[in-house]
Structures are given as C-alpha cells and as structure tokens.
Amino acid sequence: MNLLMLAGAIFLVTLIGSYVLMTTFGRPKDRPKQEQLRQQYRGEEVVAEYQPRTDTAPLLTQLLQLTRGNDFLQWQLLQAGLLFKPSEMLFISLGAGLALYVTAVLFELSTGAQGFLTLIGLSIPWIYVVVRKQTRYRLLITQLPEALQLVASSLRSGFSILRAIEVVADEMPTPISQEFRWVLDEVNVGLSMEKAFGNMTKRTQSPDVKLMVTAIQIQSGVGGDLAEVLETTSGMIRQRFQLTAEIAALTAEGRLSALILGGLPIGLAGMIHILNPEYMRPLIAEPMGHMMLIGGGALMLFGLLLIRNMLNVDV
C-alpha cells in the first residue's frame, strides 16, 4: 500500500507540474489574437506577429481529432465561454480524478469509496462546464435586447453593420460582447458575415439569437431598414421575456409541489433511518427491499417527469 501511495503521489505531482509548466511557458508572448484583429480592423499597425498558443497535450489532441466527439466537446466549451481545447479539458479531468484517487488511498478508504471519489474527480470539470454554459446562456439572452437596441441606434447614427457590432463588443458586458467580438474577428479573418453569424447561432443555441441572425440575413438579401427590424426584434424578445416570467409565476405552485413530493420520501426515509435504523434495515439489506426501492424510485421519477412536462410551456 505504501508503494502504491508513493507511486501515485509521484505521478500526480509530475502530471500537474508538467501541465502548469506547459501552460505557463507555452502561451504566446505577443498580443492576443482579438486585440491584433481589432487593431487591423481599425487600420492600426501591428508590430508583433501573432503566434498560436502551444498545445499542452498534442498527442491527446490528435487522438481526439480522429473521433466524432472532438467537435462536440469543442462546441460545448465554446458555449460555456471557455477557450480550452477538448484535450486540455480531458487532461484537467484526468488530473482531478487522479488527485481524488490518491487522496482516497492516503486516507485508506475502501475500494468502492476510491472508485466513487475518482468518478467525482473526473466529473467535476465537466459539471463546471455544464453549469457555466447554463449560466452564460441565461445571461446572454437577458442582454440580447439591449444589444439589439444598441446596434439599431448605431445604424441610425450612420455606422455600418460591422462598426455597430464593434460598438456592442466594446460597450456591452460579457457574454454578449464576447459573442459579437467573435463574429467580428471571424469576419476580419475572411469568413463571410452569414457564416460568422451562423457560428454564433450554433454556439448560443438560442432561438432569440437565431431570430436576430435571420433578420440580418433577410435584410442583407432584400434590403430595407435594418435598424427598424432590429428594434422590432428587440421588442418581440422583451415581450417573450415578460410572457415567460408570467408563466413562471403561474406555474410556481406546481414546481414547488414537485420539489416537495420529490424530496419528501428521501427526507422521511433518512429521518426514520436516523431515529430507528432497525426499522429501515430490511429495506436496505433484503433483496425484496432492493426491488421496492428500485420500483418506488422509478415511479417517483416518472411522476416528476410527468409534472415537469405539464408545467413546461414553450413560449
């Protein structure tokens, strides 16, 4: 056991140390890519040539590029606003899993506990990505009407659509400014505006953003007052937010009931187990008890999904 602990600790220190060194010294010394593209767009001279950041896990990147999951993971990271490569996230996930495994070994936990903690360590980075993605999405759609209003005001002032996008990228907070900055950067490196906005729609997965992009594409094809179209689109999105808030208020009682009905059996079982462990022992130790737990859990899950579908109103 001591030899296993020593080997795991050495491997963990080597892994984390290598990643820190490669990340620290592998970053470019010159200006960031967005700042360079911004200066080129404004006609300013760029002194230093941009050098891409060194890949911290090139072998893992090559292996992932042979699979279909590489693009999916990359889009998930972009939707979360993280400029990591999938290989780097996998590297971090493996490091977190190994760290918790070595911790479990050091505390001499059981084999089941070691496996459980390792799974938790592997999952923590991806749970963070999912939570950050959802938080970023909610904040982005909240900022979108104000961004559309700013674009419309800039167009009425005589700015071009690219200059109006730059105004949003400079004046608005993240994440909406980051999304518009990415659109501007992609156009500056040669991508068509239609493709750049298509990538924005794919990143955000938002029907409101798709509505905005559709309005811009239709106006660029047939002409018309884009500022008025964007103001109308902004008003429609604000009305949809208001309707969504009203629906959330009307369905609050049902959602609270689902929360209580879902948590009551678990809380009651835990309380009975604390007060009288022998009363709950047959349910945990006997095969019939296991079947009853599985059946009860399946029925409870079915009921919660049914309540969710009843309260889920598509606006």
**3-state DSSP of 101-156:** HHHHHHCCCCHHHHHHHHHHHHHHHHHHHHHHHHHHHHHHHHHHHHHHHHHHHHHH
Q: Is residue 170 part of a domain?
A: no
Q: Is residue 149 part of a domain?
A: no
pLDDT of residue 169: 92
Q: Is residue 283 part of a domain?
A: yes
Tokens, residue 264:
């009551």
CA angle 186/189/195 to nearest 5° reads 40
Per residue in 245-262, pLDDT (tens digit) is 888 888 888 888 888 888
| Spatial contact of 75 and 203, defined as CB atoms under 8 Å apart | yes
CA angle 312/314/315 to nearest 5° reads 130
Mean pLDDT, range 192-211, rounded to an integer: 88
Q: Is residue 275 part of a domain?
A: yes
Tokens, residue 193:
């505006």
pLDDT of residue 287: 86
Q: Number of structural domains, the chain? A: 1
Per residue in 266-276, pLDDT (tens digit) is 888 888 888 88
Tokens, residue 52:
């891409």
**Contacts made by residues 55-63, CB under 8 angstroms, sequence distance 24+:** 55/26, 55/85, 55/87, 56/19, 56/22, 56/23, 56/26, 56/87, 56/88, 56/91, 57/85, 57/87, 57/88, 57/90, 57/91, 58/87, 60/87, 60/90, 60/91, 61/85, 61/86, 61/87
The CA-based dihedral angle spanning residues 208, 210, 216, 218, taken in that order and rounded to the nearest 10 degrees: -120
Q: Is residue 14 part of a domain?
A: no
Please state the pTM of the whole predicted model.
0.68
Q: Is residue 267 part of a domain?
A: yes
Give the contacts of 315 (CB within 8 A, at least 6 positions apart).
240, 243, 244, 247
Of the candidate ranges 4-18, 116-130, 142-156, the one whose mean pLDDT is the lowest:
4-18
pLDDT of residue 167: 92
Going by pLDDT thresholds of 50, 70 and 90, the confidence category of residue 32 is very low
Is residue 143's pLDDT more than 90?
yes
Range of 283's domain? 250-311
Q: Is residue 80 part of a domain?
A: no
Average pLDDT over the chain reads: 80
Percent of the chain with pLDDT over 70: 81
Give the contacts of 199 (CB within 8 A, at least 6 positions apart).
182, 183, 186, 191
Q: Is residue 124 part of a domain?
A: no
Angle 58-65/69-79 helices, nearest 10 degrees? 110
175 preceded by a cis bond (ω within 30 of 0): yes
pLDDT of residue 127: 92
Per residue in 43-98, pLDDT (tens digit) is 444 333 434 556 666 677 777 777 777 888 888 888 888 888 888 888 888 888 88
Going by pLDDT thresholds of 50, 70 and 90, the confidence category of residue 150 is very high
| Spatial contact of 77 and 86, defined as CB atoms under 8 Å apart | yes
Is residue 237's pLDDT more than 60?
yes
Exposure letters 160-172 (e unless 16+ CB within 10 A, then b): ebeebbbbbbeeb
Any idea how long the chain is? Answer: 315
